[in-house]
Amino acid sequence: MKLDDIKTFRQNLNELIQRAFTSVLVKTSGEELYCFAIYCGCNSEGAWLRPLANTQERHERAQKERDESGTDYSEEAYYRWAPHEWFDDWAVDHGFEEFLSLGQPSICVCGDSDGVDNAAGWLFATIVLVLQELDREGFFGIGKEREQITLFCSEWHGCQRWLEEESVRRLNSATVYRRFFDEWITNSVAAEEFEMFRNSPDKGPTYRSFLSHLNAPDGVAWWRSSWTDYCLSSG
């Protein structure tokens, strides 16, 4: 797949997110949906993503089960905003598992870690841009209905903690952002890592790549002469 097919990648992602969120609304009928997240990752072998969602009721039931098990889960904010901790049956696949492996556009990264960093930045930016596009169209609701839901992105092994805060800030109103941040920052791990990131003069290659793609026309800031080890693949 050639670079000029990036728009096709984004269109496919747009359609798959619509299908996933529509399925979420059906599955959570009668419950209070509080978040919809795209959980994603990128490494030397490629990239993947899947949508996840949670409701107040589901979160409270899980909290009760943890309490009854006698396990100390004092970091409640962590579980509330950690997609990888949610029950597997809340993973809304609907084609996402095939999206990056069976015939749909995928990122292939070859070479050193800089290649992974830059490709990950592109992936994160693309997800945010597609979610923004859908949100502007009112797809996730309007008014009070929209304010109920926090849209965000989360990276699979937590090394890019900034992505959670950054995506919530860019994808939601100030009210939703403050509600999220006031809870999320009470997670000691998030607080420590985010404070280090915020105070660091160098935000790192993935974040720089994220900003360059996010601010480029059509979200594409691709190749510099040193970025010759990327390709997009359809297989």
What's the pTM value of the predicted model, to 2 decimals?
0.82
Note the pLDDT tens digit of each residue in 135-189: 999 999 999 999 999 999 998 766 788 999 999 999 999 999 999 999 998 887 7
User: Is it the case that residue 106 has pLDDT exceeding 90?
Assistant: no
pLDDT range class, residue 218, cuts 50, 70, 90: low
SS3 sequence, the chain? CCHHHHHHHHHHHHHHHHHHHHHHHHHCCCCCEEEEEEEEEEECCEEEEEEEEEEHHHHHHHHHHHHHCCCCCCCHHHHHCCHHHCCHHHECCCCHHHHCCCCCCEEEECCCHHHHHHHHHHHHHHHHHHHHHHHHCCCCCCCHHHHCCEEEEEECCCCCCHHHHHHHHHHCCHHHHHHHHHHHCCCHHHHHHHHHHHHCCCCCHHHHHHHHHHCCHHHCCCCCCCCCCEEEECC
For the chain, what are the domain ranges? Answer: 3-233
Across 40-50, average pLDDT: 75
Q: What is the pLDDT of residue 35?
A: 93
**Which of the residue ranges 13-22, 97-106, 191-200 would you say has the lowest mean pLDDT?**
97-106
Note the pLDDT tens digit of each residue in 11-31: 888 888 898 899 889 888 999
Across 86-110, average pLDDT: 44
Percent of the chain with pLDDT over 90: 29
